[in-house]
C-alpha cells in the first residue's frame, strides 16, 4: 500500500521530466523618424547562443558570468552579421552592434542602421536565420514598426525572410 502511494506521488513528476524546450528569438525593428535610423533589439536565450558559439566558432563564451570570454561580443556580432540581414530596396545594409545586456536567461542585443533615407525607400526586408543552423525547430519572431505600419513574421529555417512594403 505504501509503495503504491509513493508511485502515485512520483508519477506526475516523472511525466514532465522531458520538458519541452522552446527555440525562439524575438526581434523588434523600429524606425525612429527623428534620427532617420532603424533601431533593432533581438532577444535570444543565453544557453542557445552559447551552444551556437561553441559549435560554430569553438568559443566557450560563459555568457552572463564573471568569467565571460573577452571575445564574446566580437563573436556574437560576427554570428549576427552572418545570420541576421536587413535589406532596404533589395540592398543589404550593415548595422552597428551597439552592445548587449542580460535579462534573466535571455541575451538582448542592440543594433542600429543609421541614415535610412526614408523618402526614397519602397521595401524593407528582414532575413533571420539566427540559431536555425543549430536547431531545426527554431522560430524567429520579427516585429517591424515603420511610420505607423506594423507587421510581424514568424521566420523558420525553410522560410527565413519577411518583407514590408513601405
* 1 located within any domain: no
* 14 located within any domain: no
CA distance 38 to 93: 11
Q: What pLDDT digit, counting tens, does each position of 23-79 carry?
A: 899 999 999 989 999 999 999 999 999 999 999 999 999 999 999 999 999 999 999
* 113 located within any domain: yes
Quick check: 10 pLDDT over 70?
A: no
* 125 located within any domain: yes
Q: What pLDDT digit, counting tens, does each position of 126-166 carry?
A: 999 999 999 999 999 999 998 888 899 999 999 999 888 87
* 13 located within any domain: no
CA distance 144 to 159: 17
Domain that holds residue 138: 21-165
* 31 located within any domain: yes
- The percent of residues in the chain predicted with pLDDT above 90, rounded, is 73
pLDDT at 12: 47
Mean pLDDT of 85-113: 96
Amino acid at each position: 500500500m505504501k509503495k503504491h502511494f509513493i508511485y502515485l506521488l512520483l508519477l506526475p513528476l516523472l511525466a514532465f521530466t522531458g520538458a519541452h524546450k522552446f527555440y525562439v528569438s524575438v526581434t523588434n525593428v523600429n524606425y525612429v523618424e527623428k534620427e532617420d535610423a532603424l533601431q533593432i533589439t533581438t532577444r535570444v536565450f543565453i544557453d542557445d547562443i552559447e551552444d551556437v558559439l561553441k559549435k560554430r566558432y569553438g568559443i566557450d563564451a560563459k555568457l552572463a558570468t564573471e568569467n565571460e570570454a573577452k571575445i564574446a561580443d566580437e563573436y556574437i556580432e560576427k554570428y549576427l552579421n552572418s545570420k541576421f540581414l536587413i535589406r532596404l530596396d533589395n540592398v543589404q545594409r550593415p548595422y552597428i552592434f551597439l552592445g548587449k545586456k542580460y535579462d534573466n536567461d535571455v541575451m538582448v542585443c542592440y543594433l542600429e542602421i543609421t541614415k535610412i533615407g526614408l523618402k526614397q525607400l519602397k521595401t524593407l526586408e528582414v532575413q533571420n536565420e539566427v540559431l536555425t543552423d543549430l536547431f531545426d525547430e527554431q522560430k524567429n519572431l520579427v516585429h517591424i514598426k515603420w511610420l505607423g505600419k506594423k507587421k510581424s513574421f514568424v521566420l523558420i529555417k525553410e522560410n527565413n525572410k519577411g518583407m514590408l512594403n513601405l
